[in-house]
Amino acid sequence: MTKKKNLPPKYQVWIDARKKFRLSHAHIQMARELGMNPKKFGSLANHNQEPWKQPLPDFIESLYLKRLNKQKPENARSVEQIVKDKKKKQLERKEKKLLAKGKSQQPV
C-alpha cells in the first residue's frame, strides 16, 4: 500500500475522488473550476443504477462546456502539482518578507 502524502484535507479529498471515480487530472480541474463538491460525486456517478444519468466524466465535461464555453481547461494541472506550486510560492513570499525585514532593521 502506498503512503499518503501530508496534504491539506481540502486537497486530499480531490485526490481520493480522482482515484475512487477514475477521473483524469483534467476532469478534476474542471470540477474544481465549476465549484463541484467531491463528496457528492457518489450520487452523481451511479449511472449503472440510473441509466438516464451520464457517466461522471461525461457529466463534468458537459457542464464545463455549458458554463464556461470551453472543451477543456487551458492548463490542466494535477492536485499534487497545485499543492507543490502553492508551497513554493509561500516559501518565496516568506523569504522576500525576511529580506525586507532584515533591510529595514539595518542601522544607517
Helices 25-34 + 9-20 axis angle, to 10: 130
What backbone phi and psi angles, to 5 degrees, belong to 57?
Answer: -60, -40
33 neighbors 74 (Cβ within 8 angstroms): no
Residue 61 covered by a domain: yes
Encode the chain (108 residues) as per-residue pLDDT tens digits.
Answer: 455 668 899 999 999 999 999 999 999 999 999 999 999 999 999 888 999 999 999 999 999 999 999 999 999 999 999 999 999 999 999 999 999 988 877 665
How far is Cα 49 from Cα 70, in angstroms, rounded to an integer? Answer: 30
pLDDT for res 101: 87
pLDDT for res 74: 92
Residue 101 covered by a domain: no
| Number of domain units in the chain | 1
Residue 26 covered by a domain: yes
Record the cell numbers describing residue 98, joined without a space.
525576511
68 neighbors 33 (Cβ within 8 angstroms): yes
Residue 87 covered by a domain: no
Residue 56 covered by a domain: yes
